[in-house]
Chain A
Amino acid sequence: MKYAYYPGCSLETSGAAYDVSTRAVANLLNLHLVELDDWNCCGATEFFSQDELTASAVVARNLALVGPDFDQLVAPCTACYLNLKKTDHLMRGDKKMSDKINEALAAGGLNHQAGRVQVRHLLDVIHADVGEAAIRDKVVRPLNGLKVACYYGCQMVRPFNDVDDSEQPTKLDDVLAWLEAEPTHFSAKAYCCGGHMTQISEPQAFELIRRILQNAADGGADMIACLCPMCQLNLDAYQSRVNRHFHADFRMPVVYFTQLMGLAFGVERKKLGFGKEIVAAGPVLERKLRTLQQVG
């Protein structure tokens, strides 16, 4: 199984643990992820707030860079995923816009034929293309006893509603169950993490983060598994600020689902980016997973 891989800017820095764990897990699962050569930033939500045509052309450059040997482009970041998918969708539905975008691309010697490349989120590829049997087959260190709140956030499930349910999605819960972890009841699983609001209006963002942490804690979760670097950043790096703001005492590690997959597949923790999270996951993992105390 061969895919073009679009890591996105966050995975180069703040979300590096997502990138290393994705590559480690993909190797073991025979998912051949080939990084898109010279990809550019997708513009997040910021570019679309300023100029739609330019924002779309910037995104489309990435679609145009996907070589003829590939027909699928995989993105682990949900914001990148949505921008890539939305732009292709826009071009398919709006001929005039599509022509303008291609005219802009032509100035750089490129062209994108809308619909040629299918944009996929990493979780969808792992759930649908790899699937239960192949994943269970790789588990050498089952995660029994680990209670995980599976957090999806917004942009993988909305607005397209095609990969999973837009309000109560289940695919990440499935994957965690295949690793023999215990997905908890977590009704806030597709609530908004606040996005860039942490950088604009903190009190507003803090309340959004609080309700997610609270709901995960109420469901008895040991940690949160997430699938987006922005969500991870908000829930993890801002957790102590949220505690201070609300006089709360959350100590909820937030890790990427690919890190937990790697762990269950027997990969060493430091090769999966563990330790980069601000709220340490190590102590909880060691307490819950007895096998970890003997190995690494």
Chain B
Amino acid sequence: MIAMPTDQRGMAFLDEVIEEVPGGERLLHCLQCGSCSGSCPNGPDMDYTPRSIFALIAAGQREKVLSSNTMWCCVSCYACTTRCPQNIPITDVMYALKRISLREGMATGTDAPALAKTFTGLLERYGRSFELGLASRYYLFNKPLSMLKMGPLGFSMFTRGRMSLTPTRIRQLDQLHAIIEKARQLGGAT
């Protein structure tokens, strides 16, 4: 018998993923048909396509999966999810893999986690966020050279009144913070 690699809690990787996704048990029914990979607009840029990722998860290849760029290439278009003949919530599995990989510090070689952190940082600070302001802040702190490249684009957005320097602040920020803090206590990660 082949020993299944497990995480610290002694749980098989497949179970770990299933536990993280609402409706995750459906993963047990993957047919390896490849409809998901064929539907994915970002398949060509992924280390492993969605179908391969599910094979690797089933095979307990935890490290390979969590350090891959696959889930970070996912843009939540749900094309795979609506086409999966087994109703596997594929996009939600991708979200779950992002969360586990972040938690375990295995998300390397991608800017996506930095973007996510900047965005939620703004949300927590103001209660609101925005797209391009987010980009400028993100680029400013992480990639000064990209910010320079973005210059004219930022400028034309600014002159058309489509970009502001800070988001609006909600009135009941304390209430939002209390909710966030409680949710984190109840089992969310930080």
Contacts and interface: CB of A to CB of B under 8 A. Distances in A.
A199 B135 contact: yes
B180 A54 contact: yes
Interface string A95-107: 0010011011111
A69 interface: no
Interface residues of B, number: 70
B189 A51 contact: yes
A110 B91 CA distance: 30
B112 A200 contact: yes
B116 A57 contact: no
A159 B77 CA distance: 8
Given A50-B102, A54-B184, A237-B157, A107 B77 contact: no
B113 to A, nearest CB: 8
Contacts, number: 209
B129 A49 contact: no
Nearest to B127: A40
Interface in A46-93: 46-54, 56-58, 61, 90, 93
Given A51-B189, A159-B91, A13 B164 contact: yes
Interface stretch (B29-37, B51-59, B78-86): B78-86
B168 A107 contact: no
Nearest to B121: A46
Q: Main SS of chain B's interface residues? A: helix
A204 B41 CA distance: 9
A9 B129 contact: yes
Contacts of B188: 51-54
Interface in B139-156: 153, 156
Nearest to A167: B82
Interface stretch (B6-14, B60-68, B171-179): B171-179
A166 B72 CA distance: 23
Interface of A: 9-10, 12-16, 38-41, 43-54, 56-58, 61, 90, 93-94, 97, 100-101, 103-110, 154-155, 158-159, 161, 166-167, 191-192, 194-197, 199-201, 204, 208, 229-230, 233, 237-238, 240-241, 275-278
